[in-house]
Structure 1
Amino acid sequence: MTDDFAADVLICGAGAAGLTLGIELARRGISFRLIDKRAQPFHGSRGKGLQPRTQEIFEDLGILDKTVAAGGVYPPLRAYHPDGSYSDRDPVERLDPTPTEPYHLALMVPQFVTERIMRDRLAELGHMAEFECELTGFEQDDNGVTARIAGPTGQATIRTRYLIGADGGRSFVRGALGVDFPGKTLGVRALVADVTLTGLERDAWHQFNDGDMERMVAICPLAGTDLFQVQAPVPVDGENDLSAEGLNRILRERTSRSDMAVNSVAWASAYAMNARLADRYRVGRTFLVGDAAHIHPPTGGQGLNTSVQDAYNIGWKLAAVLSGAQDRLLDTYERERRPIAEAVLGLSTRLLEAQKQGGMRRGREVHQLDVGYPDSPLSTELPERSHGVRAGNRAPDAPVKGAAGQPSRLFRLFQGPHWTLLVFEDRRDMVAPRPGLHIYRLGTGGDVVDAWGHVREAYGLAPGECVLIRPDGYVGATFDADAIPRLEIYLSNVGVDWFKGAGVR
């Protein structure tokens, strides 16, 4: 019996994680459906910070310039004192870009703007999210998933090879799988609201009563819009009036100012802060990504970013397995991403405690540039290295020139759904060309020139060595000339097999 699959992948949830995965699959030619039970896209700003590593991902996805144009950098944090004076400081550590790390500042882009840009990119690739379309049940077998969905035209049952739960902290998919979601409620409840407001300038992130969890309120101009975001802790129990009148009451009580007023509320929510991590990310042919797999307080601006990176990790792996790679490649998703989420939970919780004391400041630890997978089964070094870039590290950027003299960057060579092999100072045909692999030779007679020495400095490779860059921008492996047969095996295991190009299969 042959299964009649409606799509290779069914993605449940069209937020940032689901949209990232959709873009990843679309640019690889993988069939999918992206559904969301909401009647329309999310229209709030819950996640407004894009960290440097996410900016690198957005560059690869082809949406960074549009994202930067739609947002801006964070303004100074203006803390108001009891005597009516105030002082300004940077809420984030400001570092200059370097050849290896081109983005060092967090961008402020309201979540609804980010997701709109992602939907536009998905449309460019010929796909769209289906709203008001709900997953109501599913069963798995060895060959695929039978999913029941309900939409405006009624109910339907479809077959798909894989199901992805990107459906948020209250994930239906996670619940249906019976996956535990242990953690704790952190004893903090907060409101967040996007409002039009008069009486404050847009040149600062205004903060009143910093460190006082009963009276604190922060009001931040949302870059690229005429809105402000209001944030404030509220009592754990009881109802919260999130109307303009209710918010004005809170502002008057906590700031003692009568010169500012909320005029309208575009979106508002009250939520309890939690730190929770799913016991498993995979059950059979079903996977959890984003908030369905982990939730944590917003301190540190890690939530949306970690979700995007989950989807960026699993996207190329799904495509590889659907194109013939061994299924065990998908097991590396949980192996790589769950420890990252666990570390983020710890970081966000520590920053929340610092905020309670009035001393939170975000440094390099929130940029996610140091995230890596050194312990992954996909990280291989032959021979083992004690210097330079290591397998599992984020692959550094560097300015280079093409042999024709035009300036370029390594990130430009990496951009796209392919693997990249950089060969240093060796003119031999070390690896046969094949679909899904771009090969560049650096050095004398090569097609890429390390004109300023930044590649050699960042990668630390000797003549005859090569480095293999994964589609998600991490170093998969380093090899020297004596280990090329092992490189061929590695490539075959991840689905980059020259036999496909030779028409043998």
Structure 2
Amino acid sequence: MTVQTPEVRTPGVRTPQVLIAGAGPTGLLLGLWLTRLGVRVRIVDSKPGPTTESRAIAVQARTLEFYDQLGLGREALERGRHATGLRLWTRGRARAGVDLRGAGAELTSHPDIFILTQDQNEALLLAHLTALGGAVEWQTELVNLKQDAGGVTATLKTAQGASETVRAEYLAGCDGAGSAVRHRLGVPLSGGTYLQRFYVADVTARGPLSQDRVNVSLDDDQFLAFFPMPGTDHWRAVGQVPAGAGETVTFGTVRPQIDSQRIAQISAVHWFSTYRVHHRVAEQFRVGRTFLLGDAAHVHSPVGGQGMNTGLGDAANLAWKLAQALRGAAPELLATYGPERRPFAVSLVNTTDRIFSGVVSALPLARSVRTRVIPAVLGVLARPAAVRRLAFLRLSQLLIHYPDSPLSVGSAGRVRGGDRLPWVPTERGSNFDALQSLDWQVHLYGTPTPELLAWCAAREVPLHVFAFSAAAERVKLLQDAFYLIRPDGYVGLAASQFNPRAADAYADRWLPTAKV
């Protein structure tokens, strides 16, 4: 006998323009950004409520720059803590260190590694979303979807078994590695899974750990890392589950392994879990009017603290494009999302795969490299400022750029279309302060011509004029060059001097409210 579940419609909820499945950091940032742009959003999640475990812990500089755009940056800094670098241990001895303090001082207003856990990120984003009148419908699962030329029809089901049909113009799948949206689209998540099992624990610990650094212990057959967390003596411990441990693993199972490293004495365990590490990327990030973001689109090892940040970058990339599409922008704008974000995800998965494989390999050569070669050379190689700066750039995601995107046009000196706008401090802040408008804008470092002033006025594009300073010159901006900046802080069009014909051609194609 077939039992028909009742169909209900949530009272007081307007028809959403964008339906978001998943209220982790990625879905919340997407929902908040869209709400700030006046888009009607509905967010559903099958979980009973926000994440309570810390899970992902690092927020990189590029993410904090996005938070600054939304007015969240200062509050994020108040909630988390800075980490200054890496301390490497072998067999209980401190062998080498990497100090990243100041490595990004001329690159961003967030020049340090920053610890802000996943649950803290979610609480921050949800609080600001709620303040704008938004909400998350918990225990509400997307169970089906259909698309046509005009939108997406989704079927939702609550924990009580009630079902609802929702119509939206677009759907964003931010619902994690087991994404129901991705499965309904039939998009493969290509890659693999490491054989080793790992554990993660939030603990109270003391000992010789460097209090403001990530501590990594590499022994012959063990990998152990301690990440400083907000609070006194609060650490995230990550390591390999011992071979032959069986299916049921508790903290007691791994404690002898931790004790044998002789770098921490654990007095309390607040959370413990085991997991397997995947390295997979969805073959498509967009199918019709549905998009995949975050872990629904890419999963990889936790090396470098990139996972959550990559999902947040997906959201920042897609949000303004959806908003413009809903205001009548050309459909080709949304077609840039996948080509811009997927290559970085593939590159990241390949890079972390190589590093992670070396860290956990049981081969004799890999053991020797871990315990002898790396400790011997790391401290020496990491001393030059240029090397520390490159290490920071890699971690911070400031190097992400979109050179092959159709949105990326022209160059002015070494700054090209698709590059992140170089950060320039000013007397009252920085050039990034202007990005809080979340809209297209023109930046000029020098003196604008009457022709440029007239063009910006006619097109209703804000013009931000900055003095051409030593700081601007240092980051390779050209005096009096023309930089048309996207809403997510990347350069769209760059030219050494203003060319009205080129600017008109670009604006006609990509700006939502371009006027002649």
Q: TM-score, normalised by structure 2?
A: 0.84
SS of the equivalent of 2:189 reads: coil
Q: Are residues 470 and 177 of structure 1, via their aligned partners in 2, closer, same or farther at CA, if it must alter by over 3 Å?
A: same
The residue aligned with 1:431 is 455
2:426 aligned to which of 400, 410, 418: 400
- Residues 420 and 437, structure 1, Cα contact 8 Å, conserved in 2: yes
- Matched letter for residue 490 of structure 1: Y
The residue aligned with 2:227 is 220
- Matched letter for residue 374 of structure 1: P
- Residues 195 and 227, structure 1, Cα contact 8 Å, conserved in 2: yes
CA–CA separation in structure 2 for the residues paired with 1:280 and 1:236: 36
Q: Are residues 105 and 141 of structure 1, via their aligned partners in 2, closer, same or farther at CA, if it must alter by over 3 Å?
A: same
Contiguous gaps of at least 5 residues in structure 2: 1-12, 361-368, 379-390
User: Shift in Å at residue 341 of structure 1?
Assistant: 0.6
CA–CA separation in structure 1 for the residues paired with 2:489 and 2:243: 42
2:182 aligned to which of 166, 174, 186: 174
CA–CA separation in structure 2 for the residues paired with 1:242 and 1:197: 21
SS of the equivalent of 1:376 reads: coil
User: Shift in Å at residue 143 of structure 1?
Assistant: 0.5
SS of the equivalent of 1:415 reads: helix
SS of the equivalent of 2:422 reads: coil
Q: Which moved more, 1:64-73 or 1:187-196?
A: 187-196
- Residues 247 and 262, structure 1, Cα contact 8 Å, conserved in 2: no
The residue aligned with 1:150 is 157
- Residues 251 and 272, structure 2, Cα contact 8 Å, conserved in 1: no
CA–CA separation in structure 2 for the residues paired with 1:16 and 1:33: 15
User: Shift in Å at residue 390 of structure 1?
Assistant: 1.0
CA–CA separation in structure 1 for the residues paired with 2:400 and 2:213: 28
Identity of matched residues, %: 31
The residue aligned with 1:186 is 194
2:393 aligned to which of 344, 358, 364: 364
Q: How does 1:331-480 map to 2 (within 5 A)?
A: 331-356=335-360, 357-358=369-370, 359=374, 363-381=392-410, 385=412, 387-400=413-426, 407-423=428-444, 424-428=446-450, 429-433=453-457, 437-440=461-464, 442=465, 448-450=466-468, 452-463=469-480, 465-479=481-495
SS of the equivalent of 2:184 reads: helix
Which deviations, in whole Å up to 9, do the C-alpha atoms of 1:459-478 show, x marking residues without a partner? Answer: 54354x41101111110002
- Matched letter for residue 390 of structure 1: R
Contiguous gaps of at least 5 residues in structure 1: 402-406, 443-447
User: Shift in Å at residue 487 of structure 1?
Assistant: 1.6
Q: Given the alignment of the two structures, is residue 263 of structure 1 paired with residue 268 of structure 2, yes or no? A: yes
- Indicate the structure with greater helix content: 2
Which deviations, in whole Å up to 9, do the C-alpha atoms of 1:168-219 show, x marking residues without a partner? Answer: 1111111110011111223332111223456676826685751444x33333
- Residues 245 and 253, structure 2, Cα contact 8 Å, conserved in 1: no
Q: TM-score, normalised by structure 1?
A: 0.85
- Residues 75 and 203, structure 1, Cα contact 8 Å, conserved in 2: no
- Residues 401 and 420, structure 2, Cα contact 8 Å, conserved in 1: yes
CA–CA separation in structure 2 for the residues paired with 1:250 and 1:373: 44
Count, aligned residues: 475
The residue aligned with 1:489 is 505
Q: Which moved more, 1:230-239 or 1:297-306?
A: 230-239
CA–CA separation in structure 2 for the residues paired with 1:236 and 1:38: 32
SS of the equivalent of 2:280 reads: strand
The residue aligned with 1:229 is 236
- Matched letter for residue 368 of structure 1: Q
Which deviations, in whole Å up to 9, do the C-alpha atoms of 1:226-253 show, x marking residues without a partner? Answer: 642221112577645454544545534x
The residue aligned with 1:445 is none
CA–CA separation in structure 1 for the residues paired with 2:82 and 2:141: 36
SS of the equivalent of 1:338 reads: helix
User: Shift in Å at residue 80 of structure 1?
Assistant: 5.0
CA–CA separation in structure 2 for the residues paired with 1:427 and 1:245: 70
